[in-house]
Amino acid sequence: AQTVTQSQPEMSVQEAETVTLSCTYDTSESNYYLFWYKQPPSRQMILVIRQEAYKQQNATENRFSVNFQKAAKSFSLKISDSQLGDTAMYFCAFMAGRRSNYQLIWGAGTKLIIKP
Amino acid sequence: ETGVTQTPRHLVMGMTNKKSLKCEQHLGHNAMYWYKQSAKKPLELMFVYSLEERVENNSVPSRFSPECPNSSHLFLHLHTLQPEDSALYLCASSQKGAGGGGLAGITYNEQFFGPGTRLTVL
């Protein structure tokens, strides 16, 4: 079975600090995508960053970057220079297989609080 | 309206009521999804409609009934719900098929989400 595990239910850091959210996954597939989604309080879920498994280079989007360790099946999200607007639930998700355009496998989420 | 919209945003219903959730996407996508989001649990995919094909999670109870009259609208009909059905119900859409890049045998299509309907069953 394919699973995604986020081991940190909640994290809290001061504004401007760097924070890393962890995610591990389990799959026998060799080709897949990994995603981090952000869900701010009472707002819509939005895609933060994605990584293709066949790419060695870690994806980066402005202050957001990932550390993708394929052998370890680890996909952590680093947020640099954190801002108050980064306060949200963060979900790690995984997509693989022939029905990949249908199904994302989700982690349970990490609640991130940025303190002023 | 832009993106994916959902109505109502909040719904309180008794176990004997019948209600419907509505989702509309303004992105020209051809696939729509219903998810259930419960606290401290992974999102649960309930139903997918894609190019007139319906895919469902076999664990979803029959008291949830989806309807997709066209590629822009998706409904979730609710009847005789249970208190454990209380959750945030999210709708999403994506473009199935080519586009967005892909690997051999796999297609990546970003899903865009609505704001959700917070459902409380008394």
pLDDT digits (tens, 9 = 90+) for A3-40: 999 999 999 999 999 999 999 999 888 788 899 999 99
CB contact under 8 A, A32 and B109: no
Query: Is the dihedral angle over the CA atoms B44, A96, A51, B28 positive or is it negative?
Result: negative
Rounded Cα gap, residues B53 and B30, in angstroms: 10
Nearest to A79 by CA among A113, A52, A107: A113
- B106 closest CB neighbour out of A91, A100, A109: A100
Q: Determine the Cα–Cα distance for residues B20 and A50; give it in Å rounded to an integer.
A: 33
The answer to whether the CB of A59 falls within 8 A of the CB of A49 is: yes
CB within 8 Å: B4 and A44: yes
Q: Which residues lie closer than 8 Å to A16 by C-beta, 6 or more apart?
A: A81, A82, A83
Q: Do B42 and A103 touch (CB under 8 A)?
A: no
Nearest Cα of chain A lies from the Cα of B103 at a distance, in angstroms, of 7
For residue A98, what pLDDT is reported? 57
* pLDDT tens by residue, B65-99: 999 999 999 999 999 999 999 999 999 998 876 54
Distance separating alpha carbons of residues B79 and A40, to the nearest angstrom: 30
Contact B42 A43 (CB under 8 A): no
Q: Show the CA angle centred on residue B37, arms to residues A81 and A89, nearest 5°.
A: 10
Cβ contact B94–A101 (<8 Å)? yes
Closest CA to B110 of A85, A97, A1, A95: A95
Residue in B37, B104, B112 with CA at minimum distance from that of residue B74: B112
User: Taking CA atoms, what residue in A is nearest to B113?
Assistant: A45
Q: What amino acid occupies position B17?
A: N
Identify all chain A residues contacting B23, using CB atoms and an 8 Å cutoff. none
Residue B104, number of CB atoms within 10 A of its CB = 6
pLDDT tens string for chain B (122 positions)? 679 999 999 999 988 889 999 999 999 998 899 999 998 889 999 999 887 678 888 889 999 999 999 999 999 999 999 999 999 999 999 887 654 445 444 556 788 999 999 999 99
Q: Tokens 């970003």 correspond to what residue?
A: B110
CA–CA distance, A76 with A65 (Å, rounded to integer):
8
Q: Which residues, listed in sequence order, are joined to residue B20 by a DSSP beta bridge?
A: B77
Chain B residue with CA closest to A91: the answer is B42
| Shortest alpha-carbon distance between residue B114 and chain A (Å) | 6
A48: closest chain B residue by CA: B110
* Residue B93 φ then ψ, to 5°: -140, 160
Omega of the bond leading into A9 within 30 degrees of 0 (cis): no
Give the span between the Cα atoms of B22 and B115, in whole angstroms.
Answer: 12
Residue A97 to residue B113, Cβ atoms within 8 A = no
